[in-house]
Amino acid sequence: MGSPAGRYVYAELDDFEARKGFADDKLAFVKSAEMGSPAEIGIGGFMKGVGTETAKGGIGAIGKLIKGIATSVKNKFVFDKERQELLSDIVQSDPIVSVFERETPGVTAKAYETMTRFAPTLSRDPNIATSFLREAAQTGGALNYQTVKHLADAESAVNTALEG
């Protein structure tokens, strides 16, 4: 069975194992006490998740706000001038729109303003703007709800395609 001194070695290992078990239990208890009750741990985890999502949402909202402001500034200083030149060109060169503008001054600009509000990107395309203003001229300036809806839907589709 080994040497007589061997039993002391095993006794020391048993003593060491007992101390180790006690230390593991005590450490686990201390860690649990620091973390709080299971309810507090659950609430803390939930609140941390809510805080993270709130922060992500806030950052996203700030990004959208900055993008909106940049788009607004670009529209005001760059695209508005481009749109005015386009409207002027259409009124001067298109026979249907030019006759309508002579007969009812300012109505063409109002129709184009509606187009600009609901389809700002499409309002910069000469072909689409001309087609829209011709339809407005043929209806005496009264814009059909469906025409404006289709225009807004087309604008949305264009913007989605440009983003993706």
How many angstroms separate the Cα of 125 from the Cα of each of 7, 116, 141? 96, 11, 20
Question: 97 and 134 in contact (C-beta within 8 Å)?
Answer: yes
pLDDT in tens, 77-129: 678 889 999 999 999 999 999 999 999 999 999 999 999 999 999 999 999 99
What is the reported pLDDT for 92?
Answer: 96
Angle, CA 145 vertex, CA 131 and CA 91 arms, to 5°: 30
pLDDT in tens, 119-136: 999 999 999 999 999 999
Hunting for tokens 């609901």 — which residue is that? Answer: 118
**Amino acid symbol at 46:** F
What is the reported pLDDT for 85?
Answer: 95
CA distance 10 to 153: 83
Domain-by-domain residue ranges, the chain? 6-29+44-163
Quick one: which of 136, 68, 56 has its CA closest to 100?
Answer: 136
17-31, 32-46, 77-91: least confidently modelled range? 32-46
